[in-house]
Amino acid sequence: MDPITVEVDIDHGRLTARQPHLLPETGTGLLTIEARAEGAAPPRRRVSLPIVRCVPGTILEPTAEELDDSLWG
């Protein structure tokens, strides 16, 4: 059987699957908990990157003036 990822809610040690129809009737598995750390940095914002078309083997080396620091902000 292929691995399945199912979102669950945890309440006082009890797990409730948000989509129980994805689970098999019986089986075993491993549980990985992704705890969010308090005070953690918010997720980075998405940026739009330009589409670059070139001939295979072309090396792009932008100058310092051409680089946009806002992508790493």
* Within a domain: 16: yes
Give the whole-angstrom CA distance, residue 11 versus residue 31.
Answer: 15
Report the chain (73 residues): mean pLDDT per 10 consecutive residues: 81 87 85 72 73 75 68 57
Query: Does the predicted TM-score (pTM) go above 0.75?
Result: no
Give the whole-angstrom CA distance, residue 6 versus residue 61.
Answer: 43
DSSP assignment, residue 3? -
* Within a domain: 3: yes
Give the whole-angstrom CA distance, residue 6 versus residue 16.
Answer: 10
* Within a domain: 73: no
* Within a domain: 29: yes
Calculate ∠ Cα 64-69-73, nearest 5°.
160
Q: Indicate the number of domains in the chain.
A: 1
Query: What domain range is 7 assigned to?
Result: 1-33
* Within a domain: 25: yes
Ranges of beta strands (E only) in 8-53 are 8-11, 14-17
- pLDDT on residue 68: 65
* Within a domain: 44: no
